[in-house]
Amino acid sequence: MARDTYLNKKSETARRGVLLLLFFAVFCLGLCVARIGYLTLVKGDVYKSKAEAQQLSVKTLNATRGTIYDSRMNVLAQSASVWLVYVNPSKINDENRQAVIDGMVNILGLDREEITAKLKANEKYGYLKVKGQIEYAEKTKLSSYISEHELGSVINIDPDTKRYYPNGDLASTVIGFTGSDGNGLYGIEYYYDDELTGTNGRIVTAKDGMQTELRNAFETTYDAVQGTNLVLTIDSEIQTILENALKTAIEENGASNVYGIVMDPQTGAVLAQANFPDYDPNDPYAIHDEATQKELDKIKNEEEKQAAVTEARFSQWKNKSISDFYEPGSVFKVFLVSGAMEEGVIDENTSYYCEGTINIADRTIKDYTPTGHGDETPKTLLVNSCNTFSVYVGQKMGVDLFYKYFDAFGFTEKTGIDLAGEGVPVANITYHSPEISFTTSDLASSSFGQTVSVTPLQIVTAVSAIGNGGKLMTPYIVAKKLDSAGNIISETKPTVKRQVISEKTASTVASYMEEVVNSGTGTNAYVAGYHVAGKTGTSEKLTSKDVVYLASFAGFAPREDPKVAVVIVIDEPSGANYSGGVIASPIAGEVIEKTLHYLGIEPSYSEEEMANMTASAPDVIGMSVTEAEREVRASKFNVRVLGKGDTVIDQVPEADRNTPVNGVIVLYTEESNYAEYAKVPDFTGLTMWQANQLAISCGLNLKISGGSYNGTDAVAYKQEYDVGEELYYGSFVTVYFAGKGSTGAADAEG
């Protein structure tokens, strides 16, 4: 009995143990099922990705960034093929470690200690980028080294791209540049970054358990898609013309900055845009301006120096011609007169007697001429750049009407150009607003361009409206977008914002502006045959503690059917002359003349210009030397005979070519004389008469630019060819003239 009881108890214990074990097994199985369900249903995608990551190698194929072209399809920015080098640290062992490091150091120029430490820190990983954007020569040398040392499983080379700017600093503040990651940082590169970037591709390769790539059958490539190509409105030749002229301006006037824009006034297309100092986008972090670098080198405190370097970099990258505001001075008078004439406040016959001062709101405003200009009309208001008459017109308009046209010409808003960084006008900071505060005194100052600020882009856009018949255009810089095959994706169409003034008013004011250049404050912008219309401006920088000025000129040509509009701004000139008429006008005249000549616009000379300038060279080939000399002198030219022959076999300039009156005709009498050359003299500082006499004495013909043919005080400040350069006898040499101060100083207070 006792034995049965014992056995029963033991059996019960065993049964319970089995049940407990079974329960535990079922519980564990349940946990496993639950865990599997969790991993499969909840975390399935996560672990699937991890597994694929261990099984697959995915490398990015960087898309080729879109090319930026100028208007004539010259490359301004382009991505070229370079290569990226990476290693598989997990494949480095004691046998190949030194070879790997030596290759990195000797071929790629990496620091030995730094690369050794990186390889050690990443020895468990299969990928480590060591250098990007290596050139073809480095790539070829490294490939040979890899083969020679059997490092194919350790060192790898993949395609990459690098941004190049083949023209260096040309249009740098417009184009901008890219960062080390290939993204656009400034200018066009930044504004159109999404479209230029394109879509990256991939190379997907399977890996074995040792993390070695299994290429060929296990490799799939997804091609990258190139970014959109951009065709700008910028013309490299016109850009070069503008930049060369601005460099002259900043060097000769010791200015802190100079800005310039050339625009097609009919469409708003920007043909050229620049400011100095600028930079080279191939090396954007280097300080491009030598004077700035010298000042930075003087700073001894390292922290202070680094802050100054950073500030200098941001300054040189900035497109100041669209971002910086300045007081326009007397240039603004053309918009004042336009609005007043459009509203009938004044007409062509309105008269005003300038006494030299005018009293407004307990304030006496003086003109630059203490005795005044006497009797004036709206035309002479602009020609003489009269401040008191401008104040009078402004007062007649009143605050509301004045503001109406200030707003209509676009000075209270951004122009809308397709570039980043355009300056934003702010009420009661850059201009006076009737809704906030616009006093009678404010109106007086604003009437001649003080106490209001504009950007160079706003000015050239507004002055274009006067040239094109009264239409305010939206400026633009990208003309077309192309795909990789060159097909047009989209094309920019000119956009008229609004009709600001009537065609009649625009035509009248434009004629006044032409007279400003022919006989007023802007004679240094005069270009014979091109009918330049413009206005000079000189303003005091009210935001500066010191007495400093801004000199400017804005205009267009030819007056009746303008092909170019130009604005030139010279910021803080340090010389004795600081007025727009003296220092900005000749720069504008040079840009206008060279641009129109480049565009193939033929000059249209008046009878007076033709009489003062040129006459047709007579045809004397085949004549005896004596007869030829007589004919040349009778045609009002000087003569030079080369050779000892009796008969003229050639002449320079050729027959019927327009040649400067009193210029020189060179007669050739022997073939051997063609090897003889004239040396270009130094014309700097000479008057027109002196320069012409010097040219004749050297056997050259003088072509005069700027200064007006009526200006007796104009002197040469620049010449086409370098001193000492050799030219054929009889060749033409363009020399640029500017008044010394009598004409340009006329707008010194406005």
- Please write the tens of the pLDDT for every residue from 170-189: 999 999 999 977 899 999 99
Rounded to an integer, the average pLDDT of 114-119 is 90
Rounded to an integer, the average pLDDT of 532-536 is 97
Scored b (16 or more CB within 10 A) or e, 163-180 reads: bebebebbbbbbbbbbee
Orientation angle between helical segments 503-519 and 456-467, nearest 10 degrees? 110
Q: Which of 193, 212, 232 is the last residue of a domain?
A: 232
Assess if residue 320 is contained within a domain.
no
- Residue 51 pLDDT > 60: no
Please report, rounded to a whole number, the percentage of residues in the chain having pLDDT higher than 90.
61
In this structure, of 334-348, 389-403, 614-628, the range with the lowest mean pLDDT score is: 614-628
- Residue 505 pLDDT > 80: yes
pLDDT band for position 663 (cuts 50, 70, 90):
confident
Dist. CA 269–CA 238, nearest whole Å: 13
In this structure, what token pair is assigned to residue 260?
Answer: 């310039």
Q: Which of 232, 254, 280 is the last residue of a domain?
A: 232
- Residue 318 pLDDT > 60: yes
Assess if residue 505 is contained within a domain.
no
Provide the pLDDT for residue 425.
97
Provide the pLDDT for residue 45.
66
Q: Which of 165, 198, 232 is the last residue of a domain?
A: 232
Rounded to an integer, the average pLDDT of 577-605 is 91
Q: Which range of residues forms the domain containing residue 165?
A: 58-232
Provide the pLDDT for residue 427.
95
Rounded to an integer, the average pLDDT of 627-638 is 88
Provide the pLDDT for residue 748.
43
Which of 233, 172, 198 shows the shortest CA–CA distance to 64? 198
pLDDT band for position 60 (cuts 50, 70, 90):
low
Assess if residue 514 is contained within a domain.
no
Provide the pLDDT for residue 185.
93
The domain tally of the chain equals: 2
In this structure, what token pair is assigned to residue 443?
Answer: 């109106």
The larger pLDDT score, comparing residue 2 to residue 510, is at 510
Q: Give the best-scoring range by mean pLDDT among 16-20, 473-477, 542-546, 670-674.
A: 473-477
Provide the pLDDT for residue 13.
67
Dist. CA 591–CA 598, nearest whole Å: 10
296: left (phi over 0), alpha (psi -120 to 50) or beta: alpha
Assess if residue 269 is contained within a domain.
no
Q: Is 19 helix (H, G, I), strand (E, B) or coil?
A: helix
The larger pLDDT score, comparing residue 220 to residue 271, is at 271
| CA 394 centroid distance within chain | 35
pLDDT band for position 214 (cuts 50, 70, 90):
low
Rounded to an integer, the average pLDDT of 336-351 is 97
The larger pLDDT score, comparing residue 346 to residue 484, is at 346
Is the separation of the CB atoms in 29 and 191 below 8 Å? no
Cα first-last separation, the chain: 132
Provide the pLDDT for residue 744.
37
Assess if residue 180 is contained within a domain.
yes
Q: What is the pLDDT of residues 401-446, one digit of tens each?
A: 999 999 999 999 999 999 999 999 999 999 999 999 999 999 999 9
Provide the whole-model pTM: 0.78
| CA 334 centroid distance within chain | 26
Residue 382: phi and psi, rounded to 5, are -80, -40
The larger pLDDT score, comparing residue 20 to residue 327, is at 327
Rounded to an integer, the average pLDDT of 665-686 is 88
- Residue 204 pLDDT > 90: no
Question: What CATH number has the domain bearing residue 67?
Answer: 3.90.1310.10
Rounded to an integer, the average pLDDT of 564-581 is 92
Provide the pLDDT for residue 692.
84
Q: Is 342 helix (H, G, I), strand (E, B) or coil?
A: helix
Assess if residue 260 is contained within a domain.
no
Q: Within 13 A of 646's CA, how many CA atoms are on the CB side?
A: 0
Assess if residue 555 is contained within a domain.
no
Rounded to an integer, the average pLDDT of 236-254 is 94
Is the separation of the CB atoms in 192 and 230 below 8 Å? yes
Rounded to an integer, the average pLDDT of 60-69 is 84
Provide the pLDDT for residue 749.
39
Which of 360, 336, 337, 335 shows the shortest CA–CA distance to 347? 337
List CB contacts of 87: < 8 A, sequence separation 6 or more: 100, 104, 119, 128, 130, 154, 155, 156
Q: Give the best-scoring range by mean pLDDT among 315-324, 543-552, 686-695.
A: 315-324
Question: What CATH number has the domain bearing residue 656?
Answer: 3.30.10.20
The larger pLDDT score, comparing residue 368 to residue 513, is at 513
Assess if residue 728 is contained within a domain.
yes
In this structure, what token pair is assigned to residue 220?
Answer: 């799939």
- Residue 21 pLDDT > 90: no
pLDDT band for position 611 (cuts 50, 70, 90):
low
Dist. CA 281–CA 205, nearest whole Å: 37
